[in-house]
Chain A
Amino acid sequence: MSQKDIKNNPDHSSRGLMWKLLRTHISKSQLIGFSLASLVGLTIVILAVQFFQDVKPLFKDEDSFLRKDYMIITRKVSTASTVLQSSNEFEAKDIKDIEQQPWCRQVGKFSSNDYSVEASILVNGQGMRTMMFFESLPDEFLDVTDRHWKFDPNNPKIPVIISRDYLTLYNFGFAPSQGLPQASELAVSKAVKLQFTLRGNGNVQSFEGIIIGFSSRLNTIVVPEDFMKWSNEQFGSGIERNPSRLIVEVNSPGDERIASYFKDHGYQVAGDKMQQSKAQGFLNIIVSIVILVGIIISVLAFFILMLSIYLLLQKNTKKLQDLLVLGYSPNQVSRTYINMVIYINCAVMVVSIILMLLMRAYYMPMLKAMDVSGGKIYLSLIVAVIIMSLISFGNIMAIKRKINDLWIQSS
């Protein structure tokens, strides 16, 4: 053989040679076993995280106008109360009692109009008239940043937040029957012209209305409190009335004590906030269980890889010691296996993310049918990276420790 023949053999780098040397005894079946287990575990975890992100909006209070953790309560209207004409109003002592409950942060009163309101609604030249009502509640319960949310008697326009149910009624009831196009919230608030005519106390006045937004939680028509005060003075009878609806800010809507208090006092919670927090609670539990199962599988996979690495290092002990005696540092020697672990873990992570995205693409159309556009994916990606980093870190530490143990040999 001539010297030329082997002159440029590319396999003679220390990395190439080390890999050739140290890959013996690598058990493909063990690594495939780890990769599959790890893939299943990680995919379950990130899919659960992603699914939770995606369905969360279903349970979220989408109402940007109301602060979180509030409940709207009324007294139960019974047949007896209708017959006996007993009051459904909350008296001062009732309110005080609620305020003193440990779960209560603050209580706000709904005020209603003490005069008649007639609204004319004009959409694309077609009109509709209806009798209406207003309610207002203290501004601190609202989270309205719109600059129109105020009333100026000198330039009287009435800003309103209306129930999203009305928009649904328009879109699915009124518009099709009148041959009108369905409209989005933004289009409606622009296209709909509102005119309110207030009558009472011998006064009649018409105002232009502006729709500030829609609320799915406030099942009413809300106006600013300063307008309510002003209009009741102008058109009302002047008789003070107790509120028939209260808004209660609570520490935790899921608190059992709240439900039993309301039940004992015959109060009703508007909307299904409590049902919803129960549903959200179930969702949390289910997602937590799924994530836990995924993490357990990941942990088991981690131990499979650890065992596989230990076995590999054990079988290659002599070679590793010879490399150290040859002058290779423990870091150089461990790098071969560390790189292997990193490659495998990265590959598992990438495949797992792809699987998660594929499954997401499968379920998203179902969620879209429920009008949920889906959450962001960065959280599940971060979770994937964190889990894989932890697994890799554990593996790397184990490899380094095992190889450092080989530094001093026994006789």
Chain B
Amino acid sequence: MNTITLHNTLPAVFAGREDTGSEIWLREVIFERGKKYLISAESGTGKSSLCSYIYGYRIDYSGTFAFDGRDIKELSVDEWCKVRTHHIAYLAQEMRLFPELTAIENIMLKNSITNFKSRKEILAMMEQLGIIEKVDSLVAKLSIGQQQRVAIVRTLCQPCDFIMLDEPVSHLDDTNNRIVAEMVTAEAERQGAGIISTSVGNNVKINVDKEFKL
């Protein structure tokens, strides 16, 4: 997948608005593989909606999203599974971790369907993010910041053309923000992938090619 195109898109809840003042909604936007984008937004401007449309689990919008020019509404369930395991790595704002599983189990749940990272690589990433001691702790027992780091490791456990991060560092300090930025950038460069990151203020410290205001 080389491009994600937005053509005149608008969340259904914003229907009727003519000028949203947004650089995303009701515009022609192209995200290209290999480039880094930041979408800065205020709360309630549809940031998470944008991610869920691109990830195919919500369809309450008008306009067209397209992967390499193909309307994503045409994608079959199997194709979507492929997108989610091979083309777009996604970190949801709400993280979507399973509190009843341990940190490593949460990560392995993703890695066992992609077989992308070795256990050693996963543990190295956890170590880098300072959560290696929490490997076998239940996610329910972790702090939000620790959970966010577990979720970031899990996001990187797949081959991808784009890494889409919805407020990836909202609960992290500057040091960890920097580590996450390095780790994500390194992974993206290794795979030649693009990065689409959203933020409501606490930006991930990545040098972006383009910034959009949502």
**Chain A residues near B (Cβ < 8 Å):** 1, 3, 6-7, 9, 11-14, 17-18, 20-21, 24, 319, 321-330, 332, 407-411
In whole angstroms, how far apart are the Cα atoms of A161 and B132 in the complex? 93
Q: Are B81 and A328 in contact (CB under 8 A)?
A: yes
In whole angstroms, how far apart are the Cα atoms of A409 and B58 in the complex? 6
Kindly identify which residue among A12, A18, A319, A321 contacts B104, using a CB–CB cutoff of 8 Å.
Answer: A12
Q: Are A20 and B120 in contact (CB under 8 A)?
A: no
Q: Is B181 an interface residue (CB 8 A)?
A: no
B-side interface mostly = helix
Q: Are A17 and B101 in contact (CB under 8 A)?
A: yes
In whole angstroms, how far apart are the Cα atoms of A323 and B109 in the complex? 9
Q: Are B110 and A326 in contact (CB under 8 A)?
A: yes
Given A3-B119, A327-B81, A328-B81: A409 in contact with B98 (beta carbons within 8 A): no
Q: Are B57 and A327 in contact (CB under 8 A)?
A: no
Kindly identify which residue among B13, B78, B135 contacts A6, using a CB–CB cutoff of 8 Å.
Answer: B135
- Nearest residue (CB) in A for B119 is A7
* Total A-B pairs, Cβ < 8 A: 83
Q: How far, in Å, is B27 (CB) from chain A's closest CB?
A: 21
Q: Are B96 and A3 in contact (CB under 8 A)?
A: no
Q: Are A325 and B96 in contact (CB under 8 A)?
A: yes
Q: Is B203 an interface residue (CB 8 A)?
A: no
What are the residues of chain A within 8 A of B85 when measuring CB–CB? 327
In whole angstroms, how far apart are the Cα atoms of A330 and B78 in the complex? 9
- Nearest residue (CB) in B for A408 is B59
What are the residues of chain B within 8 A of A409 when measuring CB–CB? 52, 57-58
Q: How far, in Å, is B131 (CB) from chain A's closest CB?
A: 11
Q: Are B158 and A12 in contact (CB under 8 A)?
A: no
What are the residues of chain B within 8 A of A11 when measuring CB–CB? 105
- Nearest residue (CB) in A for B123 is A3
What are the residues of chain A within 8 A of B92 when measuring CB–CB? 325
| Chain B stretch 99-145: residues in CB contact (< 8 A) with chain A | 100-101, 104-105, 108-110, 112-114, 119-120, 123, 132-133, 135-136
Q: Is B84 an interface residue (CB 8 A)?
A: yes
Kindly identify which residue among A20, A322, A323, A330 contacts B105, using a CB–CB cutoff of 8 Å.
Answer: A20
Given A1-B135, A12-B108, A329-B78: A411 in contact with B59 (beta carbons within 8 A): no
Given A6-B135, A325-B57, A325-B84: A24 in contact with B109 (beta carbons within 8 A): no
Q: Are A1 and B108 in contact (CB under 8 A)?
A: no
